[in-house]
Structure 1
Amino acid sequence: MRQRSVGMLVAVLMMVPAWVRAQPAAEVRQAVQAATPQLQAWRRDLHQHPELGGQERRTADIVARHLRALGLQPRTGIAGTGVAAVLKGGRPGPKILIRADMDALPVREETGLPFASQVTATYRGQPVGVMHACGHDAHVAILLGVAQALAARRDSLPGEVMFVFQPAEEGPAVPGAPFGAKLMLDEGLLRDFTPEAAFGLHVWAGLQVGQIGSRSGPLLASADEWSLTVTGRQTHGSRPWDGVDPITVGAQVLLGTQSMIARQVNIAQTPVVLTAGQFNSGVRFNIIPEQATLVGTLRTFDAQVREDVIARFERIATDYAHAAGATAALTVVNNAPATINDPVLSQRVRPSLEKVAGAGQVVEMPLQTIAEDFSQFANRVPGFYFLVGSTGAGIDPAQAPANHSPRFLLDEAALANGMAAMLQVTTDYLEAGATR
């Protein structure tokens, strides 16, 4: 009886594809090792030639040419510069989506790297430097590497994979234009392809290279861009009683919102951040102007809390303005919903991450008040988003220049680690869902 059981076990194992029977991380690492020189070359080239949101034409051309070289048929021009391609495996299985963002930031680079960006551009009317200060150059390189590895074994691959190279994750260079993920979806990215899961990653200065950060449920905040216009009545600065001062009202409203967050919102249950980044008013030292404009961001993790905070903000603005004889108009635009990792998918993916990084190197992340429009994909299908450590050995991540800093410095070992993690996640998911 025991001999027959052993024989049956051997027979079952022989039916399992070699990709699964082998040490999984070893198979993945072979593919990553072969791709590492190209990962570095892609990343350095893209880093030296960054492009702002909606302007990623050179980047998109590089992506499309490589996907064609892999035998794929990329769709280009989605949301302006977005690129997508579907790899069909030789065996039946699930459909999944993997996404990388392509755009850079209006930041003048201060890293001193030999391939540092010297690019300048005009951003919302102002001359700026342009830098991959958030690591999207690494994201593009990683996803190109994953596409290359999966295409190399397409005959034995179960299912289908859509590779999405997205523009304008940081927002468009043109004010008021949609962010890239929503625009790609609005233009029919998933019209003929319905994935059952979506995956994304981000290199992260807050983690040591070799670490991977993940979290089930809410991970990244929703991001709203708000604008408050206070209209008073212009008068001479020496006679404020003859007019209505919108600057004072604007300041009172801003302070009122901070009291509201501290005293009216249960931030022990869910964090809320409301920040003003601009306060513009007037042209002369002795004239009280007619209008003042404040612009800022609201970060929340819960849709109901978000709606409640916006309603309170509007009430505070209206009441302070009314008390002073002014008017106030608040507009709020949601740039990205909260990024929420599907709990079932999170549980399923974690062993894949541990195969690559080791169980002790997969870190449970606290809530992050940054935002990401990967959430647009994760709102359509179950999604999972993780962070890949990018701060080199010997540097304290808590002291390292953060993402968006002009001195953000990526340890290029993060390229191989990111590719290995995403490749392991996708292959494990596809193999588990194979139908024969």
Structure 2
Amino acid sequence: MSNNDLQARITEAAKAASGRASVHRRHLHANPELSFEEHATQRYIAGQLDEMGIPYKEIAGTGLLAEIKGEQGAGPVVALRADIDALPITEANDVPYRSTNEGVMHACGHDVHTSSLLATAEILNKVRSFTPGTTRLLFQPGEEKLPGGATLMIRDGALKDPVPAAIFGQHVHPPLEAGKVGFRPGIYMASTDELFLTVRGRGGHGAMPHNAVDPVVITSYIITAIQQLISRNTDPTLPAVITFGRIASDGGATNVIPNSVSLEGTLRTLDEAWRKELHVRLNKLVTEMAASMGATAELTIAHGYPFLKNDEALTRKAFDDARRFLGEDRVVELPIRMTGEDFAFYTHHVPACFYRLGVGSPALGGERPVHTDTFDVDEACLETGSGLMAWLAVKALGA
């Protein structure tokens, strides 16, 4: 079959599957589950795979691995990944598919990723007689929570027997209109570590600070010094961020100096060597600075996701394949971003391409950012997302 004919079949199949994709998305959105608790979600996905006659197995606890074998002879394995977990956010949207699980919401678009991959499975199942090789579908739990479901999928063999020649993942992107997609070859997203710092002094009366060791003042110096690790110790050409988003004392009042102050933050960078060096420097800085002021400090660094690197050749080919499938005006190149994704783990094992799926629309009344209680999408994105992922898969398979 010619490329033009195969593209036409995939385009037609994506249109046919879009209605069911919307049904999937609304069901999943109304029934979100937190990381590593996706039991009903797993059953729903399994039921859809059963209906399509696609074999699968449970993996990583609440995940699934399914495979669609092409009928045009031997070929590589190409993996496609969708994350399935939701966030601890109470939804504010007044829509028919509003979350029925109070305090839990698909606020990062994983309902879109999952429903899109189910539609992609439907498309690939329809064209398998025209394609070689095997498409491996990874429905992954726990993207939003350390250690990241990707590590468990890899541990349980998602990238083995045989090793995939490529893996693709997509993520919703509200700044892009539905119908558009974006790519970034090379390093694309940051590593993500969590910082937990406690500074211990000696409490006392606010009017007699000389009798206390004030952890509030000491903490303020430490925060400023930590920021100088970025502004004065990091290569200016290397993106790096340290942000503290939470600070609290163990008591204190207008006239009470507390005994300790606790902070929580994040460390992000695009270089693994500098990431490792920052861990050492942070520990040394907080310990010695606190000691110099009569206090103690304890820093715990929870190692998160590595930086995400898109394979240059694979991603440039995917960029070109996407322009052919969607049209040049619907495919853009993206800037580097300091957010993180556990898809990054896959990118350090096999050639990978992680791209963005436009979901925005003026009809939504403005941008609906991810990780907010009003996040929502233009469901036209489902046809684009499923059709393009199917097309990228068959092109990577050599069809």
TM-score normalised according to structure 1 size: 0.87
* Residue matched to 2:66: 85
Does 2:252 match 1:270? no
| SS at 2:151 equivalent | helix
- Contact in 2 for aligned 1:24/1:355 (Cα 8 Å): no
Match of 1:281 among 249, 254, 265: 249
Deviation sequence 1:252-284 (CA, Å, 0-9, x none): 2112122331222223x1211111121121224
Deviation sequence 1:17-72 (CA, Å, 0-9, x none): x1x34344322211101101100000011111111111111111111122222223
| SS at 2:332 equivalent | strand
Q: Distance in 1 between matches of 2:158 and 2:363?
A: 43
Deviation sequence 1:78-123 (CA, Å, 0-9, x none): 2221111122222211111110000111111122222111322xxx
Match of 1:427 among 379, 394, 397: 394
Does 2:128 match 1:154? yes
| SS at 1:158 equivalent | coil
* Residue matched to 1:382: 351
Q: Distance in 1 between matches of 2:221 and 2:214?
A: 11
* Residue matched to 2:149: 180
Number of residue pairs matched by the alignment: 397
* Residue matched to 2:41: 59
Amino acid paired to 1:425: L
Amino acid paired to 1:275: T
Q: Distance in 1 between matches of 2:37 and 2:337?
A: 28
How far residue 428 of structure 1 moved from its aligned partner, in angstroms, is: 1.1
Q: Distance in 1 between matches of 2:170 and 2:158?
A: 20
Higher Rg of the two aligned structures:
1
Match of 1:145 among 109, 119, 135: 119
Does 2:314 match 1:345? yes
Aligned-pair RMSD on alpha carbons? 1.8
Q: Distance in 2 between matches of 1:152 and 1:335?
A: 39
- Contact in 2 for aligned 1:209/1:393 (Cα 8 Å): no
* Residue matched to 2:9: 27
* Residue matched to 2:385: 418
Q: Distance in 2 between matches of 1:48 and 1:378?
A: 31
Does 2:93 match 1:111? yes
Does 2:315 match 1:334? no
How far residue 413 of structure 1 moved from its aligned partner, in angstroms, is: 0.6
Identity %: 37
Deviation sequence 1:141-170 (CA, Å, 0-9, x none): 010111111122333321111100111111
Does 2:205 match 1:231? no
Match of 1:38 among 5, 11, 20: 20
Q: Relative to structure 1, is the Cα distance of residues 311 and 386 closer, same or farther in structure 2, using a 3 angstrom cutoff? A: same
* Residue matched to 1:123: none
Structure 2: 5+ residue runs without aligned partners?
A: none
Q: Distance in 1 between matches of 2:209 and 2:327?
A: 66
Q: Which moved more, 1:217-226 or 1:179-188?
A: 179-188
Match of 1:315 among 278, 284, 291: 284
Q: Relative to structure 1, is the Cα distance of residues 427 and 97 closer, same or farther in structure 2, using a 3 angstrom cutoff? A: same
Q: Distance in 2 between matches of 1:335 and 1:307?
A: 12
| SS at 1:251 equivalent | helix
Q: Distance in 2 between matches of 1:43 and 1:394?
A: 18
Q: Distance in 2 between matches of 1:409 and 1:170?
A: 18
Q: Distance in 2 between matches of 1:64 and 1:242?
A: 65
- Contact in 2 for aligned 1:97/1:161 (Cα 8 Å): yes
- Contact in 1 for aligned 2:165/2:350 (Cα 8 Å): yes
Q: Distance in 1 between matches of 2:286 and 2:273?
A: 20
Structure 1: 5+ residue runs without aligned partners?
A: 1-17, 121-128, 172-176
Q: Distance in 1 between matches of 2:87 and 2:373?
A: 10
Deviation sequence 1:390-422 (CA, Å, 0-9, x none): 1014679xx612111111120001111111111
Q: Distance in 2 between matches of 1:354 and 1:73?
A: 32
Q: Distance in 2 between matches of 1:30 and 1:220?
A: 34
How far residue 240 of structure 1 moved from its aligned partner, in angstroms, is: 2.5
How far residue 425 of structure 1 moved from its aligned partner, in angstroms, is: 0.5
- Contact in 1 for aligned 2:322/2:392 (Cα 8 Å): yes
| SS at 2:74 equivalent | strand
* Residue matched to 1:12: none
Deviation sequence 1:302-342 (CA, Å, 0-9, x none): 11222233333223212320211112222222221111100
